[in-house]
Amino acid sequence: MTTKLKPIALVLLAACIVTGVGIAAYPPSTQAADEKKPEAAKPALTVTVTKPSSASLPIKLAANGNVAAWQEASVSSESTGLRLTEVRVNVGDVVKAGDVLAVFSQETVNADIAQAQAALHEAEANAADAAANAARARTLQNSGALSAQQISQYNTAEQTANARIASARAALASQQLRLKYTGVVAPDSGIISARMATVGAVSNAGTELFRMIRQGRLEWRAEVVAADLRNLKPGVNATVKAANGSEVTGKVRMIAPTVDPQTRSALVYVDLPQSAGSKDAPFKAGMFASGQFELGASQAITLPQQAIVVRDGFSFVFRLNADKHVSQLKVQPGRRLGDRIEVLGGLDADTQVVVRGAGFLNDGDLVSVAADNAPPKLAAN
């Protein structure tokens, strides 16, 4: 009996025969040998590493506060009912002790002085006459021409006349003092900080005409919390920074004896250099300033700033493991000195950490270590 195959069956039969021949010609062991072997992992980056080093870092205490005058002097009028005729200084002028700042009218005072001088001359004339009468009475004391009562009256008249001379001299001195007060003088050297004097005004005694910063001295009144006061004492240096970036070095003069019950902070008074209060100095009374108190130095573990990576608000370093992979470690940064940062915790002193290239790494990356002077190099893909 003859079996007839359809054309599609013949095609399938031929494909099976060809597959079998191929398997026979290339056994499984030969096929496995022809497969490519997996390539070795490539480092993600070429980096440099270092170990933490010990360094002496300054201990500083930051604070904020206001700049104020060391002392202010109020210059007032000592004359009453006199007209101000001249004002010789203005705000910002530098004056010396004894300089005339303003002048009051002298006409009324000069007239009073002339009257007082005339009264003095009259008193001196009366005293001379009384002295002569008393002298004659004393010569007649033993003759009996005058009674003891009359002689006593002449002596009393002489003493009264001398007392009137003293009174007239005192009145004249008072008027001369008024004349002196018509010129308002600076009580000390310093800088005029306020002017209330107006030409033509009639002032009463005690009216404030000027205000001045004594000796041009300024001070920084820093606000320091009570917990930090134990670290401060008079004589400690402080670096004060003005609003325009200028810095000066001052010294702690005193620490306030009380603490504000609302803010729990106390004022620390820092004397600024004499030049800080000059007319063109960057510091002005009333301005805000920041600063730092210098409290000495201490040993610290530091790393280059480049080795610390800030991510999501936290600081990290990358530790180099023995297998050339890196591990990301969270650390706590502290003080800064130049390009080095203190590490307060989270790192051992003998740990190798990545310096150059740390900002490009992720936890677990494979790296290669280059010489210290070689720049970080990204590996080719």
Domain boundaries, the chain: 46-55+298-378, 62-70+216-297, 78-105+182-215, 106-181
Taking domain 46-55+298-378, whether its CATH number is 2.40.420.20 is answered by: yes
Q: How confident is the model at residue 39 (pLDDT cuts 50, 70, 90)?
A: low
Nearest to 57 by CA among 336, 366, 363, 364: 336
Residue 155 in this model has a pLDDT that exceeds 70: yes
- The CATH number of 78-105+182-215, from 2.30.110.10, 2.40.50.100, 1.10.3720.10, 1.10.238.10, is 2.40.50.100
Q: Which CATH number fits domain 62-70+216-297: 2.40.30.170, 2.40.10.120, 3.30.430.20, 3.50.50.60?
A: 2.40.30.170
Phi, psi of 254 (to 5 degrees): -160, 165
Could you give the C-alpha distances from 214 to 94, 267, 358, in angstroms and in order? 10, 21, 56
Predicted pLDDT at 241? 92
Is pLDDT of 36 > 90? Answer: no
| Rounded CA separation 258/47 (Å) | 55
Q: Residues 264-267: contacts with CB within 8 Å, 24+ apart?
A: 264/225, 264/226, 265/223, 265/224, 265/225, 265/226, 266/223, 266/224, 266/226, 266/229, 267/65, 267/221, 267/222, 267/223, 267/224
Which among 15-19, 83-87, 245-249 has the top mean pLDDT?
83-87
What is the C-alpha separation between 89 and 99, in angstroms, rounded?
10
Banded model confidence at residue 38, pLDDT cuts 50, 70, 90: low
pLDDT at res. 196 = 94
Q: State the greatest distance between any 2 C-alpha atoms of the chain, in Å, as a whole number.
A: 208
Instruction: State how beta strands 309-311 and 288-304 pair.
Output: unpaired
Please say whether the beta carbons of 72 and 193 come within 8 A: yes
Report H helices in the chain.
Answer: 7-25, 28-34, 107-139, 148-181
pLDDT of 276: 60
For residue 171, what are its two tokens? 């009145």
Nearest to 342 by CA among 312, 315, 324, 379: 315
- The model's confidence at residue 149, banded by pLDDT at 50, 70 and 90, is confident
Reported pTM = 0.64
Residues 192 and 75 sit within 8 Å (Cβ to Cβ): no
Using a pLDDT cut of 70, give the percent of the chain over it. Answer: 85
CATH of region 106-181, choose from 1.10.287.470, 1.10.540.10, 3.30.1240.10, 3.40.50.880: 1.10.287.470
Neighbours of 94 (CB within 10 A): 16
pLDDT of residue 59: 87
In the predicted structure, residue 102 carries a pLDDT above the cut 90: yes
What phi and psi values does residue 157 have, to the nearest 5 degrees? -65, -35
Beta bridge partners of 310: 315
The edge-to-edge listing of strands for the beta sheet with 208-214 is 72-76, 208-214, 190-195, 94-95
Instruction: Please state, rounded to an integer, the average pLDDT across all residues of the chain.
Output: 84
Higher pLDDT, 20 or 236: 236
